[in-house]
Amino acid sequence: MLEGPDIHRALTRIAHEILERTKGAGGVVLLGIPTRGATLARRLGDRIEQFEGVKIPVGSIDITMYRDDLRLRPARPLGRTDLPPDGIDGRIVVLVDDVLFSGRTVRAALDALNDLGRPTAVQLATLVDRGHRELPIRADYVGKNLPTAKSEKVKVFLDEIDGRDAVVLVKGPPAQRRTQEPAKGDAK
C-alpha cells in the first residue's frame, strides 16, 4: 500500500498543513498516541522544525485506563504520558495516531487529555484513515484515506520500531452470513 517514500511525503504534507492551519505552529503541542502515534508525532515535530526553524513541544499520551474495552481484553501495562514542561493549558494540541478506524482510541485520548489540562483547541492528525467510524470523530490532517472492509486490518510499520516504513493491508476472512440454527426439536 504505502512504502517509505509515500509515508515521508504524507508526513511532510501533514506538517505543512499544521503550519498553515495554525499560522506557523505557535502555541502548538504534538501528542502522540503510543506506540506508533508517538513516533509519528516526533517525526512531525522534526519536519515542522525543519520548515520553520522553531522546535515545537512533542509528547505522548497514554490512553490505557480510558479505553472502553478494558474488560474485554487481557490486562495490559500502563504506558507513559509525557507532557511538555509547559503543559497543554491554553495550547493547540494536535493528537497524532497511526490509523483512525472506529474513533474509540481518539475518544479515549480526548478523555485522558481532559484530565491533563485545558487546551485552547484539539486537532487530530493520522497517517491512515480507514473509515468505519463508530463515533462522530474525524481527522483534521490525514496522510492517506484507505477504504477497507471491516474484516481487513491496516498494519503500520515504522523504521524506529519495526526496522522499515510501510503501511500494509492485511486481508481478513470474508464476512460470514449468519444463519439461524433451528431450535432443538424444530423440524429441519
CA distance 68 to 59: 23
Which pLDDT belongs to residue 76? 64
pLDDT > 70: percent of the chain:
88
**179 in helix, strand or coil?**
coil
Quick one: cell of 10? 504524507
The string of pLDDT tens digits covering residues 90-144 is 999 999 999 999 999 999 999 999 999 999 999 999 999 999 999 999 999 999 9
CATH annotation of 2-170 = 3.40.50.2020
Average pLDDT over residues 62-85: 80
The string of pLDDT tens digits covering residues 24-47 is 999 999 999 999 999 999 999 999
Look at 109-113, 160-164, 175-179 and tell me which has the smallest mean pLDDT.
Answer: 175-179
Query: In sequence order, which ranges of 76-141 are alpha helices (DSSP H)?
Result: 104-116
Which pLDDT belongs to residue 72? 67
Quick one: cell of 122? 484539539
